[in-house]
Amino acid sequence: MRETRIYVSLVIFFVIMIAGCAANKEIPAEAIQGRAEHAFDELKSEETGGKAFPKVKRGEKTTLAQPSEETRGKVQVKKGKRPGWVDGDSIQYPSSKYLTGVGYDPDRKLAEDKARAEIAKIFVSKIDSRTRTYQDYLKITSKGRSKTEEIFSIQDITSVSTQKVLSGVRIAQVYQETGTRPIFYALAVLDRDQSAKILGYKIQELDQDIHQLLSRAKGEEDLLAKVKCLKQSVQKFVIREAYDTELRIVSRTGKGISSSIHFAEIKGRLESILLRDFLIGVSVKGSRADEVQDALVQGLNQQGFSISQDLNRVNVLVRGNVEIKPLKRGTSEWKYVQWRAYFDMVDKKCGSVFGSVNKTGRQGHLSLQQAENRAVRNIRKVLITEIAGEMKRYIFSQ
């Protein structure tokens, strides 16, 4: 019994010694790291529902997994699972808050450009449709005596109006589909609220400009200065309508800002200057002068201009000379005449010549009188077209 107790005591003693040595012994760092990594792997496995990462044997080299994203500029190129926005709506950028566009191409830059272009298309088509209604209105009211000419470029208006809002377009995500022929997909986004604020400010700014231009035109005594103000107000009005179209697109409510000024009001003021206030005088000398002058007066009236016989009251003077001479060539059965018409257009206020028309031609007929009559008809046709064009370009370039 005594021997048994001694044996048990010795066993307990040795156990305590072994335990003490084990407690004082430092655990290698590799073992600690291995245990931590194993615990992390098990935690990730529980979170994802998958299997833990395989253990790496001691002494075996580990290969770090390559990331599924590569950084290029501010936007990372994602690989792997195909994101939902490639084929449908984006969860991160919902249509209620963003306008989106998707572009794809083997070249990343082209894919991003195409994505931006998709958003631009939304604006361009709507602006083109709305601004063309004003151009159609101009054409409808430009028949007969009330004809005026506003030179508008729909492309210019679209470019100016979309430049501001499209500057807010950014590339939010880029995805690369790997395979035999890798394709880049780019997601372009435009913040609706931010764009609406910018457009609202621009519309209010243009409304103020239009009011100021109309007030200035009303107070101007010089007719060309009036035309200049009215022309600028027309251009600003059309651009303003383009901005309002964009606002309706980006606004969550689909509403814009109504204008307190009607386009017909501006158009009416401009027409009244050409029809009533802006006076043109015509002075023709030379062959068949009275006949050519009467034809010019009639033609310019039909183009929408007012003609005054009092040359001291006119704003612009159209003065010229016509020469019609018989040509020696021809036969006894067929006669020819040579004609020349040279005209200047003078701003009476400053005396400067702003345009000129110099035309020559040859006409033939059975007799000199008939050839001359044909020449006069040709002169009238050419002069009315050329002079009316010069007049309109000058007035609307002010």
3-state secondary structure the chain: CHHHHHHHHHHHHHHHHHHHHHHHCCCCHHHHHHHHHHHHHHHHHHHHCCCCCCCCCCCCCCCCCCCCEEEECCEEEECCCCCHHHCCCCCCCCCCCEEEEEEEECCHHHHHHHHHHHHHHHHHHHHHHHHHHHHHHHHHCCCHHHCCCCCCCHHHHHHHHHHHHHCCCEEEEEEEECCCCCEEEEEEEEEHHHHHHHHHHHHHHHHHHHHHHHHHHHHCCCHHHHHHHHHHHHHHHHHHHHHHHHHHHHCCCCCCCCCCCCHHHHHHHHHHHHHHHCEEEEEEEECCHHHHHHHHHHHHHHCCCEECCCCCCCCEEEEEEEEEEEEEEECCCCEEEEEEEEEEEEECCCCCEEEEEEEEEEEEECCHHHHHHHHHHHHHHHHHHHHHHHHHHHHHCC
Token pair, residue 34, equals 């291995």
Residue 68 lies in a domain: no
Q: Residue 290: left (phi > 0), alpha (psi -120 to 50), or beta?
A: alpha
What confidence score (pLDDT) does residue 159 get?
A: 78
What confidence score (pLDDT) does residue 226 get?
A: 86
Asked if residue 291 and residue 381 are part of one domain, the reply reads yes
Asked if residue 364 and residue 265 are part of one domain, the reply reads no
What is the side-by-side strand order in the sheet with 98-105?
69-72, 75-78, 170-177, 183-191, 98-105
What confidence score (pLDDT) does residue 24 get?
A: 42
What domain range is 184 assigned to?
A: 84-141+154-193
Asked if residue 180 and residue 89 are part of one domain, the reply reads yes
Asked if residue 322 lies in contact with residue 380, where contact means CB atoms within 8 angstroms, the answer is no
Asked if residue 319 and residue 249 are part of one domain, the reply reads no
Asked if residue 88 and residue 24 are part of one domain, the reply reads no
Asked if residue 181 and residue 129 are part of one domain, the reply reads yes
Asked if residue 315 and residue 287 are part of one domain, the reply reads yes
Asked if residue 257 and residue 288 are part of one domain, the reply reads no
Token pair, residue 124, equals 């361009």
Question: Domain holding 357: CATH number?
Answer: 3.40.50.10610
Asked if residue 174 lies in contact with residue 76, where contact means CB atoms within 8 angstroms, the answer is yes
Domain boundary among 274, 299, 319: 274
Asked if residue 33 and residue 89 are part of one domain, the reply reads no
- Cβ atoms within 10 Å of 2's Cβ, excluding its own: 6
Q: What is the pTM of this model?
A: 0.55
Residue 263 lies in a domain: yes
Token pair, residue 192, equals 């609706």
Q: How far is CA 32 from the centre of its chain?
A: 63
What confidence score (pLDDT) does residue 146 get?
A: 39
Domain boundary among 221, 252, 274: 274
What confidence score (pLDDT) does residue 35 get?
A: 39
* Mutual angle of helices 368-396 and 223-250, in 10-degree steps: 60
Asked if residue 242 lies in contact with residue 130, where contact means CB atoms within 8 angstroms, the answer is yes
- Residue 282 burial by Cβ neighbours in a 10 Å radius (0-12, 13-18, 19+): buried
Each of the 398 residues of the chain gets a pLDDT tens digit; together they read: 544 444 434 434 443 443 444 444 443 434 433 333 333 333 333 333 333 333 434 444 333 233 334 434 578 899 988 999 999 889 999 999 999 999 999 999 999 999 999 999 988 888 887 877 676 544 433 333 334 444 455 666 777 778 878 889 999 999 998 888 889 999 999 999 999 999 999 999 999 999 999 999 999 888 778 888 888 888 889 889 999 999 999 999 999 999 888 888 888 888 777 667 778 999 999 998 999 999 889 988 887 788 888 898 888 899 999 999 988 876 778 888 999 999 998 988 888 888 888 999 998 888 888 988 999 898 888 888 888 888 877 766 55
| Amino acid at site 47 | E
What confidence score (pLDDT) does residue 160 get?
A: 73
Rounded distance between C-alpha atoms, residue 299 and residue 316, angstroms: 16
User: 181 Cβ partners below 8 Å, 6+ apart?
Assistant: 106
Asked if residue 284 and residue 261 are part of one domain, the reply reads no
Rounded distance between C-alpha atoms, residue 290 and residue 271, angstroms: 29
Domain boundary among 274, 308, 338: 274
Asked if residue 314 and residue 378 are part of one domain, the reply reads yes
Strands 183-191 and 170-177: antiparallel
Residue 57 lies in a domain: no
- How many domains, in total, are found in the chain? 4
Asked if residue 304 lies in contact with residue 146, where contact means CB atoms within 8 angstroms, the answer is yes
User: 82 Cβ partners below 8 Å, 6+ apart?
Assistant: 175, 177
Asked if residue 350 and residue 291 are part of one domain, the reply reads yes
What confidence score (pLDDT) does residue 330 get?
A: 66
What confidence score (pLDDT) does residue 299 get?
A: 87
Residue 135 lies in a domain: yes
What confidence score (pLDDT) does residue 247 get?
A: 94
What confidence score (pLDDT) does residue 141 get?
A: 38
User: 226 Cβ partners below 8 Å, 6+ apart?
Assistant: 217, 220, 273, 277
What confidence score (pLDDT) does residue 5 get?
A: 47
